């Protein structure tokens, strides 16, 4: 992990496309102006940086930091460009905020893990508690962006904005979406109206809440949606930021960050036609403390699988019924007899987010089904 303080740059910068890493690094080092030169500029009144909000950028990798040979079709490597290089590559950011970039990890978000989550949560909390920053922006891959956003939404305390951002095209692509997304994310994190809204994601001119956002397209830049509620706001260069309501409308639960990683083992079991009990029995034999069912329809599954879940719940494994269907709510049900079986339903949370909440609840010592259910329903 490295910690670098970015010097605000008042020089014109070109975007990264088509440049190799050494060329980018050389170009950036020659563009960065020294702190002294910057102080002189400020004294001359050519910049108002002193009044700008302080935004901490925490880079984790992902396609937004990815590079490809522009002639190659599709293939690129995630996490090749540092957070500092990323912010330096976006013209005009020095007019929006005072930026400090730190590298937390350099991974594709398919490799996102508890260690990085804990490092992020601890660094954000420290920055807020010590008043080092007015807002935080996390650069992240899009594959698990929603899970990281939801995890942080549940453990970071305070009302300062935390914004997570990614891109669908690597930094070297023609029409890379990363620079625009990063600019808008920093705009949102810098705006006082963003306070008290929990963790937000900003991509493709939309502001979405951590609880509701999900990735819906494998490759398109129009991939993130909030199926049950829509975006909480919009941001673009012409209109600036528009929030659709005073707050995101959702109550946030705060859990203490467990003393150390990893979080308890909770498996997602995907339901399908011709479903048997084997995946559930396997998960339990490998030490799962909880099972989230990505059920068909309203959190349903076959008789065989249901019996295996009932047996698991009897042994003290937490069973949460969620759905593989993209939108809607999973509701407590007499047919499945959630009450008798001690099952929990995930409400609006998709399986991957229900997993995160189940992990946090188990880590907090909450295991009684009624109490677990209250935590899943606490939002309304």
Ligand X SMILES: NC(=O)C[C@H](N)C(=O)O
Chosen residue from 110, 122, 254, 364 binding ligand X by CB under 6 A? 110
Is the CB of residue 330 less than 8 Å from the CB of residue 321? Answer: yes
Contacts of 53 (CB under 8 A, 6+ apart): 97, 98, 134, 135, 189, 190
For 330, phi then psi, to 5°, come to -100, 125
Candidates 47-55, 135-143, 261-269, 320-328 — which segment interacts with ligand X by CB under 6 A?
135-143
Q: Does 78 bind ligand X (CB under 6 A)?
A: yes
Length of the chain equals 380
Instruction: Locate 254 and state its tokens.
Output: 């705060």
Which of 100, 142, 181, 358 binds ligand X (CB under 6 A)? It is 142
* Interface with ligand X, residue 172, by CB under 6 A: no
Among 138-146, 173-181, 200-208, 250-258, the segment contacting ligand X (CB under 6 A): 138-146
- Least separation in angstroms between CB 65 and ligand X: 9
Residue 289 to residue 277: CA distance in whole angstroms: 17
Residue 62 is a binding residue for ligand X (CB under 6 A): yes
Residue from 166, 229, 258, 290 binding ligand X (CB under 6 A): 166
Burial class (CB in 10 A: 0-12, 13-18, 19+), 332: middle
- 60 touching ligand X, by CB under 6 A: no
Give min distance, CB of 298 to ligand X, in A. Answer: 30
Q: Which residue reads 């935390």 in tokens? A: 162
Q: Catalytic annotation on 358?
A: no
Run of H or E residues at 333: none
102: three-class secondary structure by DSSP: strand
Dist CA 334 CA 340 (whole Å): 9
Q: Which two tokens stand for residue 71?
A: 């002639």
Confirm or reject binding of residue 135 to ligand X (CB under 6 A).
Answer: no
Candidates 19-27, 88-96, 102-110, 352-360; binding stretch for ligand X (CB under 6 A): 102-110
- Does 204 sit near ligand X (CB under 6 A)? no
Among 84, 94, 102, 143, the residue binding ligand X under the rule CB under 6 A is 143
Q: Which of 63, 139, 148, 214 is catalytic?
A: 63
Q: Which is nearer to ligand X, 57 or 308 (CB)?
A: 57
Tell which residue, 221, 246, 222, has the closest CA to residue 232. 246
141 binds ligand X (CB under 6 A): yes
Contact positions vs ligand X (CB under 6 A)? 62-63, 78, 108-110, 141-143, 166, 168
């Amino acid at each position: 992990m490295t910690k670098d303080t970015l010097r605000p740059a008042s020089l014109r910068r070109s975007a990264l496309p088509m440049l190799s890493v050494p060329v980018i690094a050389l170009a950036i080092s020659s563009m960065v102006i020294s702190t002294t030169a910057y102080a002189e500029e400020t004294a001359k009144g050519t910049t108002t940086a002193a009044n700008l909000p302080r935004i901490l950028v925490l880079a984790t990798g992902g396609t937004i930091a990815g590079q490809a040979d522009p002639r190659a079709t599709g293939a690129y490597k995630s996490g090749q460009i540092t957070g500092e290089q990323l912010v330096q590559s976006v013209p005009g950011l020095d007019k929006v905020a005072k930026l400090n970039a730190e590298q937390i990890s350099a991974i594709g978000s398919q490799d996102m893990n508890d260690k990085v989550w804990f490092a992020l949560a601890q660094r954000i909390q420290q920055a807020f508690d010590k008043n080092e920053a007015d807002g935080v922006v996390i650069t992240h891959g899009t594959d698990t962006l929603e899970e990281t956003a939801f995890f942080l939404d549940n453990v970071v305390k305070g009302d300062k904005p935390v914004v997570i951002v990614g891109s669908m095209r690597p930094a070297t692509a023609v029409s890379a979406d990363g620079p625009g997304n990063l600019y808008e994310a920093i705009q949102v994190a810098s705006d006082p109206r963003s306070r008290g809204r929990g963790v937000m994601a900003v991509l493709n001119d939309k502001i979405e809440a951590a609880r509701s956002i999900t990735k819906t397209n494998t490759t398109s830049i129009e991939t993130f949606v909030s199926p049950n509620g829509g975006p909480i706001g919009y941001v673009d260069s012409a209109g600036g930021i528009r929030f659709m309501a005073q707050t995101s409308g959702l109550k946030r639960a705060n859990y203490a960050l467990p003393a150390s990683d990893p979080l308890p083992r909770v498996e997602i079991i995907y339901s399908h036609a011709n479903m048997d009990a084997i995946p559930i029995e396997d998960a339990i034999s490998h030490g799962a403390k909880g099972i989230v069912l990505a059920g068909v329809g309203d959190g349903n599954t076959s008789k065989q699988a249901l019996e295996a879940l009932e047996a698991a719940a009897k042994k003290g494994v937490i069973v949460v019924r969620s759905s593989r269907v993209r939108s809607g709510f999973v509701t407590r049900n007499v047919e499945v007899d959630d009450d008798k079986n001690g099952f929990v339903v995930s409400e609006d949370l998709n399986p991957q987010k229900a997993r995160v909440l189940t992990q946090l609840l188990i880590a907090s010592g909450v295991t009684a089904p009624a109490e677990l259910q209250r935590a899943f329903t606490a939002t309304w």
